[in-house]
């Protein structure tokens, strides 16, 4: 939801059907679970925690919401070792040093210190930027399961309070909480506290019909029958015990490749010759090549 000029909260979406229709306009084909969760997150002012395998559209959902609402997208890409300075803020030490050097003749250190710990020297990172933004924001916190427990606790604190305390400047509180989408590939268990704060949305690979629709939406000019064959073969490959199953984006890459090659029908020979578009590990390519899928 967003604040209108008179302070009344105005919803972003009228209904789950409205969510599906507007996301479809930017080529994001949401199923009923996705549409209902986005609608409820808007009405309840709750973050969405999207959990599932890589490549099923979790990040794309955040981008899609930003696109259909017109909100600015702020993305925090999580990784091992991510710390508070990269999440919230840090001081521009080089600029501070230059200021100190320029004030080398100043004997009153307290006055110099007051000068260098100001807004001019503050580097706002994604969370602080989202909190301070005067315009509506969709905050995408990508792959939250990759951060350490301490950083996860920091994220939880900010998501709960929507304020940041900077010792030199005081407490900064948002007047317009962002619409938040967190994604997780489920590589580790997230805390119960974080899960309680969010609306949980499990996202898996699409079914045959939806993946066919996705291919047709994102690969202009592809024949409906070929799109279905592609989706059917990819779904069969995902049933195997692979190191990394093909994602939806890899399905699309494969579909574009087949279209460029002028292939009108997918068979075993075509699939084996183009497996590198779907699979990223040689052991997976060899396993699929030997499998009796066709």
Tens of pLDDT, residues 130-142: 998 989 999 999 9
pLDDT for residue 43 is more than 60? yes
Q: Measuring CA to CA, which residue among 48, 49, 45, 242 is closest to residue 145?
A: 49
pLDDT value, residue 90: 86
* Mean pLDDT to the nearest integer, 61-65: 97
Cβ atoms within 10 Å, residue 192: 8
* Mean pLDDT to the nearest integer, 144-150: 93
Q: Lowest mean pLDDT: which of 9-18, 43-52, 65-74?
A: 9-18
* Mean pLDDT to the nearest integer, 162-177: 84
Percent of the chain surpassing pLDDT 90 = 68
pLDDT for residue 121 is more than 90? no
pLDDT value, residue 103: 66
pLDDT for residue 289 is more than 60? yes
pLDDT value, residue 111: 65
Q: What tokens were used for 250?
A: 């890899």
Torsion 88-124-46-189 (CA) sign: negative
Q: Taking the CA atoms of the chain, what radius of gyration do you get in angstroms?
A: 24
pLDDT value, residue 262: 93
pLDDT for residue 274 is more than 60? yes
Q: How far apart are CA 263 and CA 270, in angstroms?
A: 8
Q: How far apart are CA 285 and CA 278, in angstroms?
A: 9
Q: What tokens were used for 248?
A: 């939806």
pTM for this one?
0.85
232-243 burial, b for 16+ CB within 10 Å, e for fewer?
Answer: ebbbebeeeebe
Instruction: Using DSSP, state whether 284 is helix, strand or coil.
Output: helix
Rounded to the nearest 5 degrees, what angle is found at the Cα of 64, between the Cα atoms of 63 and 69?
105
pLDDT for residue 28 is more than 50? yes
pLDDT value, residue 10: 76
Q: What tokens were used for 128?
A: 């602080």
pLDDT category of residue 104 using cuts at 50, 70 and 90: low
Mean pLDDT score of the chain: 89
pLDDT category of residue 161 using cuts at 50, 70 and 90: confident
Q: How far apart are CA 172 and CA 285, in angstroms?
A: 52
pLDDT category of residue 2 using cuts at 50, 70 and 90: very low
* Mean pLDDT to the nearest integer, 97-108: 67
Please tell me which residue, 127 or 122, carries the higher pLDDT value: 127
pLDDT for residue 7 is more than 50? no
């Amino acid at each position: 939801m967003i604040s209108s000029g008179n302070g009344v909260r105005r919803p972003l979406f009228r209904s789950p059907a409205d969510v599906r229709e507007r996301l479809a306009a930017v080529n994001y084909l949401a199923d009923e679970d996705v549409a209902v969760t986005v609608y409820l997150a808007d009405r309840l002012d709750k973050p969405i925690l999207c959990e599932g395998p890589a490549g099923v559209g979790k990040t794309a959902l955040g981008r899609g919401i930003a696109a259909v609402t017109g909100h600015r997208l702020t993305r925090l890409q999580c990784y091992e070792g991510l710390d508070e300075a990269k999440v919230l803020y840090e001081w521009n030490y080089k600029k501070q040093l230059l200021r100190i050097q320029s004030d080398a003749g100043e004997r009153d250190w307290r006055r110099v210190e007051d000068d260098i710990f100001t807004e001019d020297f503050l580097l706002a990172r994604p969370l602080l930027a989202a909190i301070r933004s005067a315009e509506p924001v969709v905050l995408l916190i990508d792959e939250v399961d990759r951060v350490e427990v301490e950083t996860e606790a920091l994220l939880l604190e900010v998501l709960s309070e929507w304020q940041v305390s900077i010792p030199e400047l005081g407490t900064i509180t948002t007047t317009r909480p962002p619409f938040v989408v967190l994604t997780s590939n489920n590589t580790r268990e997230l805390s119960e506290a974080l899960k309680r704060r969010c609306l949980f949305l499990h996202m898996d690979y699409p079914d045959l019909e939806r993946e066919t629709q996705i291919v047709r939406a994102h690969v202009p000019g592809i024949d409906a029958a070929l799109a279905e064959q592609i989706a059917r073969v990819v779904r069969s490959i995902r049933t195997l015990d692979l190191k990394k199953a093909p994602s939806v984006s890899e399905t699309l890459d494969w579909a574009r490749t087949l279209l460029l090659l002028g292939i009108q029908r997918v068979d075993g020979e075509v699939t084996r010759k183009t497996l590198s578009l779907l699979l990223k590990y040689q052991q997976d390519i060899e396993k699929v090549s030997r499998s009796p899928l066709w």
